[in-house]
Structure 1
């Protein structure tokens, strides 16, 4: 009787699901989590904890998991493989290819080293050869990520069409590499002309305890509590001492409550915490999980209630301002309003034909939802149909946000545009097209009418896979600044409470803090992992950030 290993069985199941049209989403960064499109180089990519918007690459999650079980050294061996090998060959074939190329490389290096050594400079040449090889590997791994995104977007194409697209992508990436070779380091930040100040390690508290990538974080709106959600099936509430980090940490170490999202079965990775949000009073924390359940917790870590009705992972959730309703969006294509006091669902809205990626309240009873179906619906509790539908994006709508007054809705999409909508009009008011790649998220500034900073202009910020953050004047409908400082995609942005600064986080492991008045970097911090999310406390003197290396960092910010 023939047998197959667990690795082979996993791979067969994975290929069956993939070829049957199933799409998985994930949320993880870098090889700290051990699962990503190109985790070997620590590059941040949206895979792992299975959160919204990251349906562009889970094939590598399964592939790398299988490769790990084949005793392959990913740090070295992954570079031996071409992108098409990973897509078209099974695990055993890949293993044989790697072993063959590894032996050949070792033999070639040995011969070269002997020849170079005869000239007295063999070790120098070997070092140069290693450095050159590492640089080439970095480029190959970046190409792998982009190829996988292309494959996922063209999942319905024939394999022949897919190969053609991928070959074109490789050619394009080679051309981009050549174009970038002549750039000097100063070309990275075209706006800033002065040297920013690096935040010292003594001004940083590193919060440890999570055992997997930390996907989300949020400060309580009323106190010194910061919540974090992770792929380890827990959320945590950290009590951060007031004052500067160094002195506060010595006098009063952070206290933490662990909020365990119990798994239905042992070893089942289905309870990853994908999103979280505090109510307006800061007394309750809501978490959304990949198991499709929303949970409500007290500030001391007590589970208040579990809300179950979704049939798929929850990608987003938000409290209304009053705090009596919780809104959740799921990949089951629906959004649900929950009556928190009654601990039951109030109304389910099933108008999308694709995953519900984001939700946002307009006021206490109406809200908007966005989806992979490219549409945006504005809904109201008690109404059986959307009160408004916005159509104009050409690809999935990743994020939506109402402005502080609830009169304008901003949206961003994989179609590389951000748009501004009004319920008084059927067509968008503004169509911002200056980004060159997908726009991942957007945020309104806490300025203008209806805010605590009414004398400052309202601004919209957008963060993109093109490594830039752009600031838009919504009244004039034009670009104010293009903030070019990150070396990789930008996944998170947050305005300071006074609207004077913007923090941004990226897979490049850096947090950049920008002055909106000058459009330049004023502070920087570099961590040990890619960054999922950044957020400010209510006083505006601390920034929290969650990392792919399983940590949360709290930074002191003072100018």
Structure 2
């Protein structure tokens, strides 16, 4: 028997696709150059798992063949990792015993420990029949007679298979999608991502989370947050809408209306009218029923149509959505599709309107950043300055912007210019986020190299460069008052920095899992944070204490994004189980007109 590397890679590619890991599959195909080979063959679903199972059975048979008569009946079944690490020709090595290092009892096999570990790794989200592209109200049938989405169906992009192949290929119980690897984006020694490619493609960032790598939806598999207090928000102040059928990656408030938008891996975005949500009469069901569905696919739920980023323009009249298919779609605030713009050759990771509203900017996996002309509904200019995937971007002025990439660089560019205005180097790993502060005229960036850097527009060297965390930094946010920035990531801590003095002024430590989102209230007095421990905390910047908290039910698993409305009286949160939450936080008495001043 013989096989080529391309044949093996093709089976791995099929395995990734069948497991619902299309993000990883896309990049795997490019890195292994499978797209340059004619490998399109008819292979049955679960082919790789089937071949591995056969090989495992052979190893087990070979191992038992070397034992004494009758002894083979006492040998436990050999696990996959056992088969890869033992020598079956040696009778004395039949399976690995647990050591006395705390990993398990002396009689516990590695296979048993692996099974226990997997109970903490099952994640995913429901899926179901999709809807035709366009607009429909959330409370009734889709236009054209298509029924409402059935959340009890199979996860997006996965069809039913026999129980053996579905479990072995990453499907957990109850139709949930199980991850390949740890529940959160873990790194190998030296700081490199375990699923990184040579080009730093598709960093673990939010898109590891996008694949549903989260904790099991059960009390046994869900870690209890490290902290509980009487600050838990009253249930009657929470509106929880579980209408999306899969992960909700992003949420963004309209700057002028009492509504916000969300984007999900179920190939839809939604506009939620939450006016009156602070009153008992407006229930979660009412809000769900009057939500407007912005459909991005005419097919069943498509994993190529994940809505990965959204943004409102400054007037609140327009909503733009960026999608995994590389398309940008423009919608009115009422949910009418205005246009579809395509130029990216892969997923879009970030989308930003400028303040004037005449341009918006996108960054994508195809290494490009694109400025779009809003009035003419067309691309204004394509910038191809990065050497690898562009992960984030932000406007500096109405025609100048900064972008960051897995190529470890920040690029400052301007509409009409054919060359970068400035290239900022210094990070030693992919740069996850970039944010500009109009008050201090400074750019902040964070990276998998664990550093936070602050840059001036006048120099190519950072004016502040600190190793801010012990693990990768995922998100950063400037305080509305300026000069203070919050950073958070996989070390489960939030740190606040005084940029003028170049020093840390606060460390907030309560979350028990990686933190994916932080957001300041409009007056900078409070900071909200969301984590994969299912908790949303609101911190008082005067006392550094949690003054309000929300803990989702076991199935929530992770909070991808939190966002304040313009008055600071409501907080939105989007979650990995498809739930969208709106918290009534009027008790905090946020006063946007009286900004909080940080002590230095």
TM-score (norm. length: structure 2): 0.65
**Residues in 2 aligned to 1:154 and 1:226: alpha-carbon distance in whole angstroms:** 33
- Residues 352-397 of structure 1 show CA distances to partners (whole Å, capped at 9, x for unaligned) of 0010000100111100000000000111111111111110000001
The reply on whether 1:436 has 2:470 as its aligned counterpart is yes
Query: Which residue, 455, 465, 484 being the options, matches 2:509?
Result: 484
Residues 373-384 of structure 1: pairs in structure 2 closer than 5 A: 373-384=407-418
**How do 1:295-374 and structure 2 match up within 5 A?**
295-374=329-408
Query: Residue in 1 aligned with 2:109?
Result: none
Shift of 1:242: 2.8
Q: Secondary structure at the match of 1:364?
A: coil
**Quick one: structure 1 residues 320 and 373, their matched pair in 2 at CA, closer, same or farther if it must change by over 3 Å?**
same
Q: Secondary structure at the match of 2:515?
A: coil
Structure 1 unaligned blocks of 5 or more = 3-8, 19-23, 27-32, 37-46, 56-68, 72-84, 107-131, 158-184, 449-457
Distance of aligned partners of 1:223 and 1:34 in 2 relative to their CA distance in 1, 3 Å threshold: farther
Out of 445, 459, 474, the residue aligned to residue 484 of structure 2 is 459
In 2 relative to 1, CA 422–251 (structure 1 residues): closer, same or farther, beyond 3 Å?
Answer: same
Partner of 2:592: none
Once structures 1 and 2 are overlaid, which stretch shifts more, 213-222 or 195-204? 195-204
Distance in 1, matches of 2:570 and 2:8, equals 45
SS in 2 for 1:540: coil
In structure 2, do the counterparts of structure 1 residues 17 and 138 end up closer, same or farther at CA, with 3 Å as the change threshold? closer
The answer to whether the 8 Å contact 2:485/2:498 transfers is yes
- Identify the residue that residue 213 of structure 1 maps to in structure 2: 247
Offset at residue 209 of structure 1 (A): 1.7
What's the secondary structure of 2:283's corresponding residue?
helix
Shift of 1:309: 1.0
Q: Deviation string for 1:279-315 (max 9, x for gaps)?
A: 1111110000000011110112111111111111111
Matches for 1:270-309 after TM superposition, within 5 Å: 270-309=304-343
**1:257 alignment counterpart:** 292
Match of 2:548 in 1: 523
Residue 480 of structure 1 aligns to a residue in which SS? strand
Residue 544 of structure 1 corresponds to 572
Q: Does 1:137 align with 2:130?
A: no
Partner in structure 2 of residue 497 of structure 1:
522
Q: Report deviation, 1:140.
A: 7.7
Match of 2:268 among 234, 243, 251: 234
What do the CA deviations read for 1:34-92 (whole angstroms, capped 9, x no partner)? 867xxxxxxxxxx979999xx9xxxxxxxxxxxxx779xxxxxxxxxxxxx99xx9465
Instruction: Please name the residue that 1:427 is paired with.
Output: 461
1:489, distance to aligned residue in structure 2 (A): 0.3
Describe the shift of the 1:98–1:535 C-alpha distance in structure 2 as closer, same or farther (beyond 3 A).
farther
Q: 1:253 to 1:331 in 2, by over 3 A?
A: closer
Report the 3-state secondary structure (helix = DSSP H, G, I; strand = E; otherwise coil) of the residue aligned with 1:137. helix
Question: Which residue in 1 is equivalent to 2:446?
Answer: 412
Specify whether residues 199 and 355 from structure 1 end up closer, same or farther in structure 2 by C-alpha distance, changes over 3 A only: same
Which runs of structure 2 are paired with 1:142-157 in the superposition (5 Å)?
144-145=182-183, 149-150=187-188, 152-153=193-194
Q: Work out whether residues 501 and 513 of structure 1, in 8 Å CA contact, stay in contact via their aligned partners in 2.
A: yes
Residue ranges of structure 2 left out of the alignment (5+ in a row): 31-44, 65-73, 78-111, 123-180, 199-223, 589-600
Pair 148,257 (structure 1): closer, same or farther in 2 beyond 3 Å: same
Structure 1 or 2: larger helix share? 1
Residue in 1 aligned with 2:584? 556
Q: Residue 357 and residue 105 in structure 1: after superposition, are their counterparts in 2 closer, same or farther (change >3 A)?
A: same
Match of 2:152 in 1: none
Superposed displacement of residue 512, structure 1? 0.8
What residue in structure 1 maps to residue 164 of structure 2?
none
* Alignment partners' CA distance in 2, 1:144 and 1:483: 25
2:434 matched to which residue of 1?
400
Q: Which residue of 1 aligns with 2:423?
A: 389
Contact kept? 1:288, 1:315, Cα under 8 Å: yes
Residue 81 of structure 1 corresponds to none
Question: Any conservation in 1 of the 2:452–2:468 contact (CA below 8 Å)?
Answer: no
Alpha-carbon separation, structure 1, partners of 2:185 and 2:532:
18
Change in CA separation of 1:147 and 1:48 when aligned onto 2, cut-off 3 Å? closer
Question: C-alpha distance in 2, partners of 1:133/1:418?
Answer: 37
Which residue number in structure 1 is paired with residue 170 of structure 2? none
Q: CA deviation at 1:556?
A: 1.1
Instruction: Give the whole-Å Cα distance in 2 for the aligned partners of 1:229 and 1:420.
Output: 30
Checking the alignment, whether the CA contact within 8 Å between 1:49 and 1:231 is kept in structure 2 is: no
2:12 corresponds to which residue?
15
Secondary structure at 2:280's aligned position in 1? helix
The alpha carbon displacement at 1:13 in A equals 2.5
| 1:538 to 1:92, Cα distance in 2 relative to 1, 3 A | farther
Shift of 1:434: 3.1
Residues 364 and 293 of structure 1: CA distance in aligned 2, closer, same or farther (over 3 Å): same
CA offset digits 1:17-44 (Å, max 9, x no partner): 99xxxxx9x9xxxxxx9867xxxxxxxx
Whether the 8 Å CA contact 1:51–1:313 is kept in 2: the answer is: no
- Contact conserved, 2:518 with 2:530, CA < 8 A, in 1? yes
Give the number of aligned pairs: 438
User: CA deviation digits over 1:177-226, x for unaligned, max 9?
Assistant: xxxxxxxx99x56xxxx945001221111123211111111111111111
Q: CA deviation at 1:406?
A: 6.6
Contact 2:240 2:284 in 1 (8 A): no
